[in-house]
Amino acid sequence: MNDVSLVAIAVGAIYLAAFACVYRILLTYRTTQGAIAWIIALIGLPYLSVPMFILFGRYRFGGYLRARRLGDESLTSLLNRFEQQTTSIPIPGSDRFTDELQVLCRLGRQPFTDGNRCTLLRDGEATFEALFEAMEDAEHYILLEFYIVRSDRVGRRIKSILERKLAQGVKVWFLYDDIGSVWLPRNYLNQLAAAGARVASFGNGNIRRRRFQINFRNHRKLLVCDGRVGFVGGINLGDEYLGTAMDQEPWRDTHCRIEGPAVTGLQLAWLEDWTWASNDMPALDWEPADNQPGTDEVLVLPTGPADTWETCTLFFLNCINNARTRLWIASPYFVPDFQIMNALQLAALRGVDVRILIPEKSDSRLIGLAAYSYLVQACKTGIGIYRYQPGFMHQKVILVDDRYSAVGTANMDNRSMRLNFEITAITTAPHFIRSVESMLEQDLDGSRLMTERDYKERSILFRLACRAVRLLAPLL
């Protein structure tokens, strides 16, 4: 066979693969804009686009749903039992019933539970102090799941506590994301495993089913101790979340501590991820505590690319569309798609006080540029975009009227809404809402309200760059 024939076969194979990708896109695409962009690229530049599509073009996390929610009878039984337990949200006809809260229950397949105690942790120092204390007090087991784990001062403190608890007979399961924790030394994990901890990576632990799905991340940050105390929020395990890393801007972040029946929701989310990563289902405590630590209503909402719906997108839309007087959102990454942006505009037009709090200095130059491109569109309808000044703001917090608030891991970008596994705690507790309100008021006081002039008075090259980067929003 001559060289010409080999080249012809190679070209034919590439175009055959390109048309196979196009076929898949036509069957599964979410938006026409994204589908058209991929199709043009695959036909015009198949040599580059085919491998890019294989790595980054998928939007469903293949195998997770079948292997976890439907394939494991024990896990499915636990999910169904918790989902079907009596919810604390009133039934239709009562004064306190709201459709939007019922929607959240259905999205997450979890109920609002009462009898909880929720505590807002306003920064890294308060968060790590509470995390360390909860782990020190654990008597039976500790479950960890974090996107980023570092072997710095915070990471070593965590490891020291875990090794000490393991020596006391406490069981430890340690789950991390292999992409977020790419710089975590193997020795750190090996020493934990040698001390008796079960360690798994969300990506590498199930490589057969994970292959060609590297665009997905497990972005969750949670800790559960003994099934009684849990934590969720934006803080990973690293010194930067204390704002003490070398040559670092002050860090602004938020977490929350939950004690009570809602911790079961955190534990179920962790168990789903652990079972996926390790093919192992540990025996945990699922019996409710005899005493209820508080009176707070809490819902844990896990979201991700294995869900039946675009759960995270629907969560944001539900919050925006049902806001009546106030909608305050803090997010380090503000790159909304057209439906989220349209919903925000409509909320502002109907008189809702819409404020978006983002950092002045972003850790992503592209996302920082993209945020500028929404400025004129936002200002014309009365949306306030505030840039946090004292340092880098990484918190993910939502306040809807005086009715409920949410603290979690999801950003207002395509990655959180469609590609990442995220988790959010939502509560109707008045004291927690007041704490979030006070915290955000303080953050807003330290922020700069942007105007159309911030965009229009910049150079034409800057504005072109902003608009060009916005085209990449589905990839950011």
What's the pLDDT tens digit per position in 30-86? 666 667 767 777 777 777 777 777 666 665 555 555 444 444 566 667 777 776 665
Mean pLDDT, to the nearest integer, of 179-208?
A: 86
More confident residue, 263 or 277: 263
| Contacts (Cβ under 8 Å, ≥6 apart) of 425 | 118, 232, 233, 256, 258, 262, 266, 298, 299, 300, 301, 406, 407, 408
Single-letter residue type at 299 = L
pLDDT at 211: 45
Is 417's pLDDT higher than 80? Answer: yes
Determine which one of 219, 239, 253, 307 is catalytic.
Answer: 219
Whole-number average pLDDT of the chain: 85
* Whether 380 is catalytic: no
Q: 323: pLDDT confidence band, cut at 50, 70 and 90?
A: very high
* Whether 401 is catalytic: yes
The pLDDT > 90 percentage for the chain reads 52
Scan for tokens 């790419």, then name that residue. Answer: 182
Mean pLDDT, to the nearest integer, of 289-302?
A: 88
Determine which one of 221, 253, 273, 337 is catalytic.
Answer: 221
pLDDT at 207: 47
Determine which one of 253, 396, 413, 443 is catalytic.
Answer: 396
Is 210's pLDDT higher than 60? Answer: no
Mean pLDDT, to the nearest integer, of 231-241?
A: 95
pLDDT at 458: 83
Rg for the chain, CA atoms, rounded: 23
Determine which one of 401, 402, 431, 454 is catalytic.
Answer: 401
Burial class (CB in 10 A: 0-12, 13-18, 19+), 62: middle
419, 386 Cβ separation under 8 angstroms: no
* Whether 123 is catalytic: no
Is 231's pLDDT higher than 50? Answer: yes
Determine which one of 226, 239, 337, 443 is catalytic.
Answer: 226
CATH of domain 311-475: 3.30.870.10
Ranking 288-292, 363-367, 470-474 by mean pLDDT, the lowest is 470-474
Ranking 112-121, 139-148, 207-216, 456-465 by mean pLDDT, the lowest is 207-216
464, 368 Cβ separation under 8 angstroms: no
pLDDT at 25: 74
* Whether 396 is catalytic: yes
153, 262 Cβ separation under 8 angstroms: no
* Whether 226 is catalytic: yes
pLDDT at 175: 97
Is 326's pLDDT higher than 70? Answer: yes
Q: Hey, do 64-300 and 311-475 end up sharing a CATH topology, with the first three levels equal?
A: yes
Is 361's pLDDT higher than 90? Answer: no
Mean pLDDT, to the nearest integer, of 424-429?
A: 96
Distance in angstroms (rounded) separating the CA atoms of residues 193 and 118: 32
Domain boundaries, the chain: 3-56, 64-300, 311-475
Give φ, ψ of 392 to 5 degrees: -90, 125
pLDDT at 52: 72
Q: 208: pLDDT confidence band, cut at 50, 70 and 90?
A: very low
Determine which one of 178, 307, 394, 443 is catalytic.
Answer: 394
pLDDT at 204: 60
Distance in angstroms (rounded) separating the CA atoms of residues 353 and 347: 8
Three-state secondary structure string covering the chain: CCHHHHHHHHHHHHHHHHHHHHHHHHHHCCCHHHHHHHHHHHHHCHHHHHHHHHHHCCCCCCCHHHHHHHCCHHHHHHHHHHHCCCCCCCCCCCCCCCHHHHHHHHHHCCCCEEEEEEEEECCHHHHHHHHHHHHHHCCCEEEEEECCECCCHHHHHHHHHHHHHHHCCCEEEEEECCCCCCCCCHHHHHHHHHCCCEEEECCHHHHHHHCCCCCCEECCCEEEECCCEEEEECCCECHHHHCCCCCCCCEECCEEEEECCCHHHHHHHHHHHHHHHHCCCCCCCCCCCCCCCCCEEEEEEEECCCCCCCHHHHHHHHHHHHCCCEEEEECCCECCCHHHHHHHHHHHHCCCEEEEEEECCCCCHHHHHHHHCCHHHHHCCCCEEEEECCCEECCCEEEECCCEEEEECCCECHHHHHHEEEEEEEECCHHHHHHHHHHHHHHHHCEEECCCHHHHCCCHHHHHHHHHHHCCHHHC
Fold exhibited by the domain 64-300: Endonuclease; Chain A (3.30.870)
* Whether 394 is catalytic: yes
Is 473's pLDDT higher than 80? Answer: no
